[in-house]
Chains A and B, each alone.
Chain A
Amino acid sequence: MIVKITIDGQAINAREGDTIVDVAAQNGVYIPTLCYTKGKPCLGTCRTCSVNVDGRVMAACTIPVREGMEIDVNGAEITDMRKALVELLFSEGNHNCPSCEKSGRCELQATGYEVDMMVSRFPYRFTPRVVDHASKTIWLERDRCIFCQRCVEFVRDKETDQKIFSIKGRGTQASIEIDVDLANKMSANQVCEASDLCPVGCIIDKTQGFDVPIGKRKFEVKTIRERALEGTHR
């Protein structure tokens, strides 16, 4: 069923049930996302896609469109709120783009550019986090985890469907964990997929590093906005 909504005042016909993120992209309006993975159950963990729906702030990846919705994506206040959310993610972890292997294909970095983040308005927490090297093929760089839970939900053992990643603890004590035995059973392709699924440089494939030259890296070839709008980003 087709419903009528407005995005930033523009009248749009959309299929009822589609998420705001997808409908916006189909109509040329980019909404930044980090935890959202097209075609997978929504997670709603990062809130980077926050928009104003009928006067309330909501995560656009979690909300299906319905008749008469009025959505504000690019108003000054909500735009700044999304920027603040991205800044919070940077200030919570220990992100060091210049030396990070994921630089150039990191969704957090790419989103930072998209929201025009130059520096975080929030103080950096410099939380001490221990790197986990125990797996044969994966470096778990906890400093960079934004707790999106993509890996927790979507990376599973092929035989048992058990989760390979999990989150331990809550709040500031939370940490991403890896089941080393299951991780060591992952195929090279699965490790590569897990690394690619991670929106930051937390899950690093030990067998590849800095192999794509600067200028040819994923978001240097085509920005995350361009990918989202043409429907090729997740």
Chain B
Amino acid sequence: MGRKIIIDPVSKIEGHGKVVVQMDDNNQVTDAKLHVVEFRGFEKFIQGHPYWEAPMLLQRICGICFVSHHLCGAKALDDMVGVGYSTDTPMLATPEKVRRFGHYMQQLQSHVTAYFYCLVPDMLFGMDAAPQQRNVVGLVEADPELVKRVVALRKWGQEGIKSVLGKRMHGINSVPGGVNQNLSQAARDRMVNGEEGLISLEQVIDYAQDGVKIFKDFHEKNRTEVDAFAEVPALNMCLVNEKGNVDYYHGTMRIVDKDKKIVKELDYHDYLDHFSEATEEWSYMKFPFLKEFGREAGAVRVGPLARVNVTKAYEDNCPLANAALEEFHAYTKGKANDMTLHTIWARAIEILHSAEQIKVLLNDPDLQKEQLIMTPTDNAWTGEGIGVVEAPRGTLLHHYRANKEGNITFANLVVATTQNNTVMNRTVRSVADCYLGGKEQVEITEGLMNAIEVGIRAYDPCLSCATHAMGQMPLILTVLDADGNKIAEKIR
């Protein structure tokens, strides 16, 4: 008699999902599905709005990576009005750098949130620890000084966002062809020097290094478990610049295989020629894949692990991040790293990289210059635009079309969590296989439930962005036989 195990919903992710593990009569895991059971519909209700509202409205899809959505939409509008990379009217230096500044600040605060609030408790207390302890409250009790630093780090990122977007959340800075304000000298000095209640840039760099150290300590003590946990193969994708290094704001889409061989490199404006999206009746989240390789082989991983796999190096002016990256690359001897929990390592490296990139921009006088916008000629209007950025969770794409009056008629959003859908399902299957495969008696342990959650959480999935809203809800694990009869259930 085959069996089915359901974890519903998964907690400590943005949004909620349900996991079903299907087993056959020989006690082998035959399938694992991460169900995403909510629906939002932003692509529909932006239709009919003036085109320039798209980056303002669509950033509301998420309370974490709103700057990414805002910038992605802004890049699409640049295309639409005829300014920017794909046109003869390039963006000015100041607006592009101001946009990058907001973007890196957001990457810092988003990664800090995911890393310290959600992932560090798993590392410090262990996957088998009680949920009551394995959270940020437990962290406060165990290491209050660390939590104070985390709060300060996150605040610094949010204040940095506010300094150019006007608000810590859902601000507005990018307009078609540029930005509406630069980074003022006073705001720049405040971010560099700090003030009462706000740490300085040097402290940020210092704290960011703590993140890498926490992972390394954890890894040192648990190397076997960490490395063996859900090692799942996948292609890796991110935006790269002409040097082949990750560029979080702009570049070509590069996809590499397990040997880091480039299997595809494309201009993101051609994404429809290369990507298709499969749908399943059991999930609202789609399954993108490279057409050329088919649905399974063509599924890509995006996000921190993918980026550190793809990038050759970081900029020379980011020495600390470069050193951390070299160590990461050396660990797999030049091969792509498919170890799911090494995503946490990658995220810690990216926190450091963001901090160093911000340092470079804070020392760049271009950010205080006054030329903020390029106004295109009327006949430059194309009526269609595609924007792609590397959001904290991975490659994010916005595609809009508008009619001649400027009304949005079409929108397509391919968010990072959607790109990771197939790989997350593989991760769940790998974990389930490890805990359940070949065992006569299926015991639903906290460890199993936690491990599946940890596997998913490594991707820091934003199911809100992919489909729906927020929520942390109880965990229900149910075992069903092949006929759908409940044979065991555990609720917490």
Residues in A lying within 8 Å of B, measured CB to CB:
96, 98-101, 131, 133-134, 139, 141, 204, 206, 209-216
Contacts and interface: CB of A to CB of B under 8 A. Distances in A.
A99 B406 contact: no
Contacts of A212: 180
A210 B59 CA distance: 15
Contacts of A216: 166, 181
Contacts of A96: 57
A101 B52 contact: yes
Interface residues of B, number: 22
B52 A131 contact: no
Interface of A is mostly: loop
A101 B53 contact: yes
Given A98-B57, A101-B52, A133-B406, A213 B172 contact: yes
B60 A98 contact: yes
Nearest to A132: B405
B90 to A, nearest CB: 21
A212 B171 CA distance: 12
A99 B175 contact: no
Interface string B346-389: 00000000000000000000000000000000000000000000
Contacts of A210: 52, 56, 172, 175, 180
Interface in B16-75: 48-50, 52-53, 56-57, 60
B170 interface: yes
A214 to B, nearest CB: 3
A190 to B, nearest CB: 20
B170 A213 contact: no
Contacts of B405: 133-134
B48 A131 contact: yes
A216 B166 CA distance: 9
B171 A99 contact: no
A100 B60 CA distance: 13
B407 interface: yes
Nearest to B60: A98
A134 B406 CA distance: 11
Given A98-B170, A99-B56, A133-B407, A211 B175 contact: yes
B165 interface: yes
B486 interface: no
B325 to A, nearest CB: 35
9 contacts: A98-B56, A99-B57, A209-B52, A210-B56, A213-B166, A213-B180, A213-B181, A214-B165, A215-B166
